[in-house]
Amino acid sequence: MTKPHYREGIRFFEKILDETVTVVKFNQIPNDNWLLYHISRSNELNDFNILFIDEYNITVEKYYEYSDLLSKGDFIYQMGNWQFITQEAFLTAKNDGILIGKANVLKKILYEIF
Amino acid sequence: MILKIYDFLFEKVLDKLWKICFGSGFGIYLINLLKSNILFWQLLSIVLLFLLMMTVYLLNKMLHQNKTYRLNSPMIFSYNDLCIKINRILYENNKIFQHNAPFLNPNCTGQEETTNWHTLEETIINPNNKKILNLIEDNYNLIPSSDKDLFIKMKQHIHSFNEVINNRNELAEEGISFDYSNNRFPKDFESLIKEKIKMVNIKYINDITKFIKNSFKKNSINASKIYIYGSLLEDYVEIIQDVDLLIFSSVNDKKNIIEQSKKLQHVTQLFRKKFKKDLHIQFFSQNEENEFNNFISKLNNKEIT
């Protein structure tokens, strides 16, 4: 967790949390040091996981590498504006019910503001 | 005239003479030490002698450069070392520039990004530039005459940039625009440094290329295009933490992609064992060709054929 963009991404996440959201636990994924947060919400919304990643490009291969850790309704959080995602990876994840996005999407997902 | 004679004497005679004197003196001293029986005094004498030699070296350098020597400057003994040190700083500046310069970001709309960029210029880029300036000035004698003009150009840029940063607010208030056009960042200086680094890295890159070719063949990895990119091509091998590899493959279905992914993880482990560094792989499948081509076009890269 020493990379500056990691710290910024986590700081942003902590900033948008309110009293309805609880971080139940988080795990560190081996090799990449990515974080998997398990979130619960008090306002009758489902629990879900957020995978924090700092990979420059999310390709379909990268998605498959970590998709076993995720299930329908989970979210892959790209922590920096510089990060890209291929259309193939986005659609594959979407078919599995998993969304991939940046900070602006994270906030919407967390509070289901659509 | 006197200075010239001193320089001539120093370069041609004194510089060699003091080395010969020290060399022979040290030899005689060691022989005498071997005859002595008191270990503590032997060791202490060696340490003192080493310190004395280092002092003489630094004084020598200081006198030769005819200016104040910064004690906190890193020890640099060759032109390659100087380029490596400068490259590390340029690399950091470049990363910050690429990620934060508001004029490079098409989505940037607000004042917030501009203020953030100005802060980074003041707190990181300008101090880094000053480090480069110190390195150049402290080691000017190491720069070959053929490259000196580019170093002078860089010094001019650093001075001008500093002027802009320090007077930005006052100039803006008075509505004056500082003419900085002649002293913008010299790209040719950066290219020169990168070229030097490439020469140092070339052997290492060849070793890595050979390893990748062999291990991909051995593990039947489907890769129609392989590129090395990132810090290995831009930085000195000793300081980089990982090697970036970009792969384009003709596989497309889930089963094959996962199979390739597992094989690549195995190669990554072998790589870590051999080179003591991480191998960071980005794998693009057939359906991701456009994104692959788009990404590779933005990179400084080396294809592995």
Domain-embedded: residue B274? yes
Does residue B214 sit in the same domain as residue B244? yes
Asked if B288 lies within 8 A of A86 by C-beta distance, the reply is: yes
Among A94, A78, A99, A85, residue whose Cα is nearest residue A34 = A78
The tokens for B153 are 């150009």
Residue after which a domain boundary falls, among B119, B153, B185: B185
pLDDT of residue B274: 93
Which residues on chain A are in Cβ contact (under 8 Å) with B265?
31
Per the model's pLDDT, the better-predicted residue between B234 and B114 turns out to be B114
The string of pLDDT tens digits covering residues B76-123 is: 888 988 998 998 899 889 988 888 888 777 666 677 778 888 899 999
CB-nearest to A88 from B107, B285, B295 is B285
pTM above 0.80, yes or no: no
B57 lies in the same domain as B110: no
| Residue at which a domain ends, from B13, B31, B65 | B65
pLDDT of residue B263: 95
Indicate the burial class of A11 (C-beta count within 10 angstroms; 0-12, 13-18, 19 or more). exposed
Give the count of domains, chain B.
Answer: 3
Does residue B72 sit within a domain?
A: no
Q: How far is B163 from chain A (nearest CA, A)?
A: 29
User: How does pLDDT run across B252-305, given as a tens digit for each residue?
Assistant: 999 999 999 999 999 999 999 999 999 999 999 999 999 999 998 888 777 876
Which positions 73-112 of B are in contact with A (Cβ < 8 Å)? 99, 105, 107
The answer, for B185 touching chain A at a CB cutoff of 8 Å, is no
pLDDT for B150 beyond 90: yes
Q: Which residues contact B91 (CB under 8 A, 6 or more apart)?
A: B231, B234, B235
Nearest residue in chain A measured CA to CA from B290: A86
B231's enclosing H/E stretch is helix B231-234
Interface residue B295 vs chain A (CB under 8 A): yes
pLDDT digits (tens, 9 = 90+) for B49-75: 788 888 877 776 665 554 444 555 567
One domain, residues B119 and B33:
no
* Chain-centroid distance, C-alpha A83: 13
Residues B49 and B95 in one domain: no
pLDDT digit string (tens) for chain A, length 114 residues: 446 567 778 888 888 888 888 888 888 877 666 788 888 888 777 888 999 988 889 999 999 998 988 999 999 999 888 889 999 999 999 999 999 998 888 888 888 766
pLDDT in tens, B184-196: 899 999 999 988 8
pLDDT for res B1: 40
Q: Is A88 on the interface with B (CB under 8 A)?
A: yes
According to the model, what pLDDT value does residue A5 have?
A: 61
What local confidence, expressed as pLDDT, does residue B68 receive?
46
Q: From the candidates A60, A79, A81, A92, which should be mutated to test the interface with B, based on the most B CB atoms within 10 A?
A: A60
Is residue B192, in this structure, part of any structural domain at all? Answer: no
Tally of residues, chain A: 114
Pairs of CB atoms within 8 A across A/B = 45
Q: What is the mean pLDDT of residues B227-240?
A: 80
Beta-bridge mates of residue B282: B246
Q: B199 lies in a domain?
A: no
User: A31 to chain B: which residues are within 8 Å by CB?
Assistant: 265
A window 11-50, beta carbon within 8 A of B: 31
| Strands A34-41, A48-53: pairing kind | antiparallel
Share of chain B above pLDDT 90, in %: 43
The domain in which residue B43 lies consists of 2-65
pLDDT of residue B302: 77
Do B177 and B88 sit in the same domain of this protein? yes
Please tell me whether residues B176 and B84 are part of one structural domain: yes
- Which of B3-12, B144-153, B170-179, B240-249 has the least mean pLDDT? B3-12
A42 CA: distance to closest CA in chain B (Å): 34
pLDDT for residue B10 is more than 70 = no
Nearest by Cα to B153 from B129, B189, B199? B189
B291 to A84: CB separation less than 8 angstroms, yes or no: yes
**Residues B51, B91 within the same domain:** no
Q: B259: domain CATH number?
A: 3.30.300
How far, in Å, are A50, A80, A82, A112, B240 from residue A23 at the CA level? 10, 21, 26, 17, 35
Distance of alpha carbon B119 from alpha carbon B140, whole angstroms: 31
Residue B112 Rama label (left phi>0; alpha psi -120 to 50; beta): alpha
User: Which B residues, 254 through 273, put their C-beta within 8 Å of a C-beta on chain A?
Assistant: 254, 257-258, 260-261, 265
Q: Does the pLDDT of residue B48 top 90, yes or no? A: no
Does one domain contain both B179 and B85? yes
Q: In A, residues 54-73, which contact B (CB 8 Å cutoff)?
A: 55-57, 59-62, 64-65
Cα(B226)–Cα(B296) distance, integer angstroms: 11
Q: What is the pLDDT of residue B67?
A: 47
B50 domain residue, yes or no: yes
Confidence (pLDDT) at B230: 85
Is the pLDDT at B4 greater than 60? The verdict is no
B146 and B225 share one domain: no
Structure tokens belonging to residue A52? 């924090």
pLDDT of residue B224: 92
Q: Is residue B169 part of a domain?
A: yes
Q: What is the least distance, in Å, from the CA of A51 to any CA of chain B?
A: 18
Check if the beta carbon of residue B288 is closer than 8 Å to that of residue A59: yes
Closest Cα in chain B, distance from residue A64 (Å): 7
Same domain, B159 and B127: yes
The answer to whether residues B211 and B180 belong to one domain is no
Residue B23 in domain? yes
Q: How confident is the model at residue B222 (pLDDT cuts 50, 70, 90)?
A: very high
Cα B140 to Cα B6, B65, B132, B162, distances in angstroms = 18, 8, 12, 21
Task: Note whether residue B232 is domain-resident.
Answer: yes
